Amino acid sequence: EAGVAQSPRYKIIEKRQSVAFWCNPISGHATLYWYQQILGQGPKLLIQFQNNGVVDDSQLPKDRFSAERLKGVDSTLKIQPAKLEDSAVYLCASSSRPRPPYNEQFFGPGTRLTVL
């Protein structure tokens, strides 16, 4: 079974530029998550999708971050414009069941973003 795919693996941009990350979840997984992991910290949820609908985006900085999952499969996360404090690893995860007993969230390898 293929895991969660993310691209690119690394991205370096200057502040005020735009960037987009792509995630392909495990086939059949209805729930998709985007997390931000700042160096030395645990992952922080940015947004959760159930199929193509948003379940939770309470911690997404909506003035600069946006995410979509148009057909309920792949998802993109965009930052526009980027700030220095956006430097982090952006993790995508998917699961087949969002409610207890929770199925495991399978994480992708992440995209490491450096904003200069």
Partner 1 sequence: GQQLNQSPQSMFIQEGEDVSMNCTSSSIFNTWLWYKQDPGEGPVLLIALYKAGELTSNGRLTAQFGITRKDSFLNISASIPSDVGIYFCAGHLGDGNQFYFGTGTSLTVIP
Contact residues: partner 1, CB under 8 A? 4, 40-45, 48, 56, 59, 91, 93, 99-102, 104-105, 107-110
CB of 38 vs partner 1, minimal distance in Å: 11
For residues 74 and 22, the answer to whether their CB atoms sit within 8 Å is yes
Closest CA relative to residue 69, chosen from 51, 57, 55, 56 = 51
Q: Which is nearer to partner 1, 17 or 106 (CB)?
A: 106
Q: Which is nearer to partner 1, 5 or 17 (CB)?
A: 5
Cβ-in-10-Å burial (0-12, 13-18, 19+) of 72 comes to middle
Q: Which is nearer to partner 1, 75 or 105 (CB)?
A: 105
CB of 18 vs partner 1, minimal distance in Å: 24
